[in-house]
Chains A and B, each alone.
Chain A
């Protein structure tokens, strides 16, 4: 992580000062998330979205495709095979976009710390804005993580998507260490390294 350049706020991020307050308010109060059920954490999303905890009252809603999503949830362990799809989905999402790492597995591998085919540290491959720890986090923890993300967006600190753009080569290098090539998956050329 040492050679990761610190993201700087460039003009791209601060150009719309006039509408900044309104857009930030809208962006933090309307989060459409792509619940990418990669691991066991997805089971905690069902109570969070239904009657008991009901995240729609916070302006959060599931979205069907990465094109419409603002927030990518990596729910639990991530196998190397799934990482391909996660990268592809993340790059299809439209800026500004955020990532939540969900459960211990995304932080240090969790109970899969010595597994040969899972990712141990998620933010080597895609930028993570908020981690929710626990194995598994309860819906209360999920909601508090989402509230923390909202505060971060409001304070303009949820800048993972700028980090990814500015340190793209660094992230790609790390991805290439794990993934041989996207070849054969019917992918565009830039994914066939």
Chain B
């Protein structure tokens, strides 16, 4: 193994571990902010770490079959594959993003959720099945505007390579895709509300409605893996959106800042709006974001 690929591997491992820690960190900050909005104190900043350690130290291991055991692990595999295809900066921080383009990333992103759906299917809990059905329906909803926005970006940049799209946004805030192509940016930001599964669109896990949705039957170590995966996935999704629409980042600190600022947006939207019903969720995504997305696509092509 050459030194170059060795460094790349080390940086990749660092990014994977860093994304777990940063994902938990912004999660706990979000819980603090939510608590402040509700005039509460909120849990301490280390709470997600404590929760995960506790879940890993659970002794019982209840499983209903091989697919339920494999599901969370396949999910972790899918998320790590997504994570290493996204650039986080320059040099070694581009990781393996030159090996796959935007279409690969979109394809691999759904892998984890499908593995999860299979695992829930074997667990056989009716609430889990309802949760998965809702989650996949929501995914159907937000993927249309999201893909319209991404196709517009590909058409505008004549490339599906994320590094090229970042390079084309150099030279100040006015050049960021979200502001230079406002229709595309608005579409992506609306689709992102569905991706982050915060309040108006949290039908899948819907607390107090369908128990806790897909994870109803998963406790202990399974849930620990899922919490870890979730933290990584949040960072991966936000880093991709920052790369595509907010000019990428020259170093890891600016990226972390941008990720956090972008994370506040679905959080605050979620604090203001109550949950949508499933059909309203679907209609919302296929109505306004899709319409704006088509306008953006028309402007991009003609």
Question: Which chain B positions have C-beta within 8 A of A51?
Answer: 38-40
Whole-angstrom distance between the Cβ of B214 and the nearest chain A Cβ: 12
Q: Which residues of A contact B211 (CB under 8 A)?
A: 64-65
CB closest chain-B residue, reference A58: B43
Across-interface contacts of B127 in A (CB, < 8 A): 65
Q: Whose C-beta in chain B lies nearest to the C-beta of A63?
A: B212
Task: Please state if A30 and B59 are interface contacts (CB–CB under 8 Å).
Answer: no
Counting chain A residues whose Cβ lies within 8 A of the other chain, the interface size class is 20 to 34
How many Å lie between the Cα of A12 and that of B208 in the bound state? Answer: 36
Contacts A22-B53, A23-B54, A54-B41 given; indicate if A64 touches B217 (C-beta within 8 A): no
Chain A contacts with B in 1-58, Cβ cutoff 8 A: 12, 16, 19, 22-23, 25-27, 29-30, 32, 50-51, 54, 56-57
Instruction: Identify which of A23, A54, A65 contacts B40 (C-beta below 8 A).
Output: A54
Cβ-based interface call for B57 (8 A): yes
Given contacts A26-B50, A94-B58, A96-B59, A65 and B39 within 8 Å (CB-CB): no
Take A54-B35, A68-B219 as given contacts and tell me if A59 and B57 are in contact as well, using a CB distance cutoff of 8 Å.
no
Cross-chain contact A23 with B212 (CB below 8 angstroms)? no
The residues of B that contact A69 with a CB separation of less than 8 Å are 219
A148 to B9, CA, bound (A): 48
Q: How far is the CB of B248 from chain A (nearest CB, A)?
A: 36
| B279 at the binding interface (Cβ < 8 Å) | no
| Interface bits B50-87 vs A (CB < 8 Å: 1, else 0) | 11011001111010000000000000000000000000
User: CA–CA, A64 to B208, complex, Å?
Assistant: 7
Q: Which residue of the partner chain, among A22, A56, A67, A96, contacts B219 with CB atoms under 8 Å?
A: A67
Question: A159: CB under 8 A from chain B?
Answer: no
Residue from A23, A27, A92, A94 whose CB has the most chain B CB atoms within 10 Å: A94
- A94:B220 contact, CB within 8 angstroms: yes
Nearest CB of B to A65, in Å:
5
We find that the number of chain B residues with CB closer than 8 angstroms to chain A is: 31
Q: Is the CB of B54 within 8 A of A27?
A: yes
Is B43 within 8 A of A59, CB to CB? yes
A150 to chain B, nearest CB (A): 12
- A13 (CB) vs chain B CBs: closest residue: B59
> Which of B42, B50, B57, B59 contacts A56, CB < 8 Å?
B42
Q: Does A95 contact B (CB under 8 A)?
A: yes
A70 close to chain B: CB less than 8 A: yes
Q: Across the interface, do B218 and A67 meet the contact criterion of CB distance under 8 Å?
A: yes
Known: A64-B216, A65-B219, A67-B62. A57 touches B43 (CB 8 A): yes
| Interface residue ranges, B against A (CB under 8 Å) | 31, 35, 38-44, 47, 50-51, 53-54, 57-60, 62, 127, 207-208, 211-212, 215-220, 223
15 additional A-B pairs beyond A23-B57, A96-B58, A96-B59, beta carbons within 8 Å, are A16-B57, A27-B54, A30-B47, A56-B31, A61-B43, A64-B207, A64-B212, A64-B216, A65-B217, A67-B219, A67-B220, A68-B219, A68-B223, A94-B219, A94-B220
Binding site for B on A (CB under 8 A): 12, 16, 19, 22-23, 25-27, 29-30, 32, 50-51, 54, 56-57, 59, 61, 63-65, 67-70, 92, 94-96
Give 20 pairs: A residue, B residue, CB < 8 Å, sorted on A.
Answer: A23-B57, A26-B53, A27-B54, A30-B47, A54-B40, A54-B41, A54-B42, A56-B43, A57-B42, A57-B43, A63-B212, A64-B207, A65-B127, A65-B212, A65-B216, A67-B218, A92-B62, A94-B58, A94-B62, A94-B219
